[in-house]
Structure 1
Amino acid sequence: MDIISIALLVFYFSILVLLSLYGIHRYFIVYLFYKYYKNKRRIKAEAVEIEHFPTVTVQLPIYNEKYVVTRLIEAVGQLEYPRDRLNIQVLDDSTDQTQEISLAAVHRLKEEGFSIQFMHRAIRKGYKAGALQEGLSVSSADLIAIFDADFLPDPDFLLKVVPYFTDPQISMVQTRWGYLNREYSLLTRIQALLLDGHFVLEHTARYFSGRFFNFNGTAGVWRRQAILDAGGWQGDTLTEDLDLSYRAQLAGAQFVFLPHVVCLSELPVTITGFKQQQFRWAKGAIQVARKLLPTLWKSSLPLSVKLEATVHLTSNVCYVLLAVLSLLLPLSVFIRHSLTDWNMKWLELLVFIFTVLSISIFYLVSQRELYPDWRWKLRDLPILFGLGIGICLNNSRAVLDVIFARETPFERTPKYGIKQINDKWRNKLYGSNDGKYAIGEFFLLFYLLFFLILFVLNEFWLSLPFFLLFLIGYAFVCTLTLKQTVR
């Protein structure tokens, strides 16, 4: 075997080992979930007399959301909370007719007696973080509730969440996301699976085991003083929510997660919109890792908290590993099959156990905890694997942007007011121009198709299952990209 083949296999094995370590972490999250949450160790809210309710400012950060802004403002107007203790801020940085729509909705609530302000910035300095910070500077409320444009809080949302702040140590309460349009398409069903795993297992396990977890940017309530003590909202990352969460917890803040309180949201319905969202989340997490991991490791926190937080903030590195693996996998199969003295044909089975099986168990547990028909919802699991692989180039670009210090603007996810299966997004504003980055995905699709033919001709059957996950992933993403482009 020549030196190039040896080097390629060593590199390939190293990537598999790293991916397997992150796969083992999913087993660990499931373990924490059953160890702590299933034993019902939770903080309970105390009853609050209405005359003792704290003051609340509800912040609604808006940017070009003409299809959803009215329903958001109207939903907030339905919140059951003492009017004399409730203030609403519509933080509208829009550059289109969303401003007019927002102002009309604000005017209607003012006529109903609400304390509500419309705030517009001509220059979006700091993007969403800048808008939230400006709103914070003119609020004197005890608590700050935040809802993005695509969310619809139930009328009793504040009544369920605010009582937890009777404990003066609690700085933030996050609720679980629900989905208005889960059944709209295969893409939205898979997104719901992904988010269910994040909230039901990751958030729950981290919270109940005393590890760091984060505010998700919406559907949560902060103690105003906790934001100020942590340094306020800062716009130097694309995930201002994750950044503030870690800074606050490093300063000693305590968070609460309420898996039983659900706030409905709208999932992205286009593949470019989904990739845009994933890019922002991936890049922001790596930015926060670069910004705060040194401080985290210098702190006096337990080693278990530091290790889990490190995995949490750096997990998007896996997308870079998957992108490289997409190129190396076919070549490594041929090299390993040429080795007559080494029995390496079962390598993919070990990878399956540590990665594919861990992810399957992870989402199986989350669906079983939430839905009586959880078995039926797992029908999309094979495509979920594929989607994670299919967007690896998109998210690798996000990680590499941070490594090479390349700046990109904050691009919010397009929303179209989609709720029903027959709702349409075609011919609406806010389309994405990220299609140019799909060229790499199409290249990898045809690259893998070429090797699929060679595998079949050479009867490399044991390598096919793992290989097909990559092929399915790129085929799925490319098909959705073509379908959206044609529409």
Structure 2
Amino acid sequence: MFFLYFLIGVYVLGMLFIFFYSLVQGQLLFHFLKARKEHSAALPVEGQLPKVTIQLPIFNELYVTDRLLDAAAKINYPKELLQIQVLDDSTDQTMELIQERIKFYPEVNFQYIHREDRNGFKAGALKEGLEQATGEFIAIFDSDFVPDPDFLLKTVPHFSDTNVGLVQTRWTHLNREYSLLTRLQAFALDAHFLVEQMGRNHQNAFINFNGTAGIWRKECILDAGNWHSDTLTEDLDLSYRAQKKGWKFVYRPEIESPAELPPIMSAVKSQQFRWTKGGAECASKHIKSVLTGNFPFHTKVHAFAHLFNSSIFIAILLVSLSSIGVWWAGVQGLIPETLFKWAGIFMIGFVLIAGVYLVSFFYGKKSFAQSFLGALWQLPLFLSVSMGLALHNAQAVWEGLTGKKSPFVRTPKFNLESGKIDLKMNRYLPHKIPVTTWFEGLFMLIFMGMVGLNIWAGTFAMLPFHLMLAVGYGLVFVSSFQAYGLGK
């Protein structure tokens, strides 16, 4: 019986964590809706424009570098006030490609900086470039982005308040329609860039620089201690250090910054691992100072939820595995039926989380009927795939919380929407299939079996949950296997 009580305890604690997370998401949704009603008009450009440095960190990006440099060269800003730093850590032909491409734009102030050692990875490159930056403001774009020509004219005016240290813009997606995988990623990212970022910013809670498509006041970066490379998410780390020192961040959803979504599962996993592990590392680094600092209560609550949001994957993994024992105990009559009825309260959390994603999905859509049909299948599939990534991401979170270090692994870029490049020819694809992928296949079989047992026993309370787990692990396993096979 002790083991049964242990399983029930794990299941309940995991569900409580998910429920807390959903309540915070619901509160963000409320503030997002308020923020939309209070949407302010764009600020006019007044007075003398300041000097700006654009930093473009690059590492082995043969397929997207030309696109990035072309877009940066077309930025609409006085040439004498603009410096574009190409921070190149490449070890392949990308070096030659960059140097040849910038020759196309002799009128643009390109500064090429190449490092041999990659010390500090992206954070190290940004820090080294900052030493030579002439701009009062520092805009940053990753290699898979295509900056809006008017990006600086739209963002710089928001720095009229001298307390503003960062202006972050909203990511949009160049290849949203490329595949099911890119559609589901867009589904998830839209919720972050609309509901979460706007919801936090509206109530002056901490938000984060998203690593790209944002512009910093140089003084803010230096005052906060410059870039650190002790976490995999240097952007989140600097964001918290700056806001803890009192700098104000501004989020502008109407300023769009198009970017490429990873089109294969191995690339998605690489990105997810870095984001989730880095988030956990930042949680360990900042949570004590935030909770003990002189900040409003709601700021502390949202900071806790923000820093530990990747821990949701550990909760999902534990709940899913313990649900097998809980289901069996229920069938055997070892758990009172009233407890299952009380568990229905957790459905509130599901409704809140679903609401966050549905509201962001419908944002800006013109045809409600067409959007409704899209939401009807994308929401359950997104939730299923998110559950299917629980094992992979839980490993990343655990490593982050326990202090295990790992190198910064870049997400391969593809530029497939151009139609000029074949996916199979990408030289940056991984070759080795990780052990976790095989476990995802095993979990697929286990939860497929649980679906059959639910039906056989005539118990349907956990059937939707186990069905989504079976579908999620199945999709993740199959698409991972296909993606790693491309690299052979």
Q: Is the deviation greater in 366-375 or in 142-151?
A: 366-375
Once residues 275 and 247 of structure 2 are traced to their aligned partners in structure 1, the CA distance between those partners, rounded to angstroms, is 23
CA contact (8 A) 2:432 2:484 kept: no
Once residues 334 and 222 of structure 2 are traced to their aligned partners in structure 1, the CA distance between those partners, rounded to angstroms, is 65
Using structure 1 for the length normalisation, give the TM-score: 0.95
Once residues 384 and 57 of structure 2 are traced to their aligned partners in structure 1, the CA distance between those partners, rounded to angstroms, is 33
Among 382, 385, 392, the alignment partner of 1:384 is: 382
Once residues 12 and 293 of structure 1 are traced to their aligned partners in structure 2, the CA distance between those partners, rounded to angstroms, is 25
1:179-234 deviation digits (Å, cap 9, x = unpaired) = 00000000000000101000110000111111110110111111111101100011
1:45-67 deviation digits (Å, cap 9, x = unpaired) = 24324xx0000111000001100
Once residues 370 and 275 of structure 1 are traced to their aligned partners in structure 2, the CA distance between those partners, rounded to angstroms, is 29
CA contact (8 A) 1:33 1:201 kept: yes
Q: 1:223 to 1:299 in 2, by over 3 A?
A: same
Pairwise mapping of residues 86-101 of structure 1 onto structure 2 (< 5 A)?
86-101=82-97
Number of residue pairs aligned between Structure 1 and Structure 2: 480
Q: 1:399 to 1:260 in 2, by over 3 A?
A: same
- The aligned amino acid for 1:89 is Q
Unaligned runs of 5+ in 1: none
CA contact (8 A) 1:173 1:221 kept: yes
1:144-169 deviation digits (Å, cap 9, x = unpaired) = 11000000012111111111122222
- The aligned amino acid for 2:217 is R
SS at match of 2:414: coil
1:329-387 deviation digits (Å, cap 9, x = unpaired) = 12211101222772144466433331x32221111111222222432441311110011
Measured on the aligned residues, the alpha-carbon RMSD in Å equals: 1.8
Among 398, 401, 406, the alignment partner of 1:400 is: 398
Among 191, 207, 211, the alignment partner of 1:197 is: 191
SS at match of 2:425: coil
Once residues 43 and 128 of structure 1 are traced to their aligned partners in structure 2, the CA distance between those partners, rounded to angstroms, is 34
Once residues 15 and 432 of structure 2 are traced to their aligned partners in structure 1, the CA distance between those partners, rounded to angstroms, is 30
Pairwise mapping of residues 307-386 of structure 1 onto structure 2 (< 5 A)?
307-339=301-333, 342-343=336-337, 344-346=339-341, 349-354=344-349, 356-373=350-367, 374-378=371-375, 379-386=377-384
SS at match of 1:361: helix
The structural deviation recorded for 1:303 is 1.3
- Map of 1:438 onto structure 2: 437
The structural deviation recorded for 1:417 is 0.9
- Map of 2:411 onto structure 1: 413
- The aligned amino acid for 1:300 is N
Among 115, 119, 143, the alignment partner of 1:149 is: 143
Q: Is the deviation greater in 391-400 or in 78-87?
A: 391-400
Once residues 240 and 119 of structure 1 are traced to their aligned partners in structure 2, the CA distance between those partners, rounded to angstroms, is 20
Q: 1:432 to 1:485 in 2, by over 3 A?
A: closer
Once residues 472 and 268 of structure 1 are traced to their aligned partners in structure 2, the CA distance between those partners, rounded to angstroms, is 21
1:267-320 deviation digits (Å, cap 9, x = unpaired) = 001101001101100111111111111221232111110111111000111111
CA contact (8 A) 1:383 1:473 kept: yes
- Map of 1:476 onto structure 2: 475
Once residues 117 and 326 of structure 1 are traced to their aligned partners in structure 2, the CA distance between those partners, rounded to angstroms, is 51
The structural deviation recorded for 1:77 is 0.4
Q: Sequence identity of aligned pairs in percent?
A: 36
Using structure 2 for the length normalisation, give the TM-score: 0.95
The structural deviation recorded for 1:486 is 4.2
Establish whether residue 294 from structure 1 lines up as the match of residue 291 from structure 2.
no
Among 48, 52, 56, the alignment partner of 2:52 is: 56
Once residues 439 and 360 of structure 1 are traced to their aligned partners in structure 2, the CA distance between those partners, rounded to angstroms, is 30
Unaligned runs of 5+ in 2: none
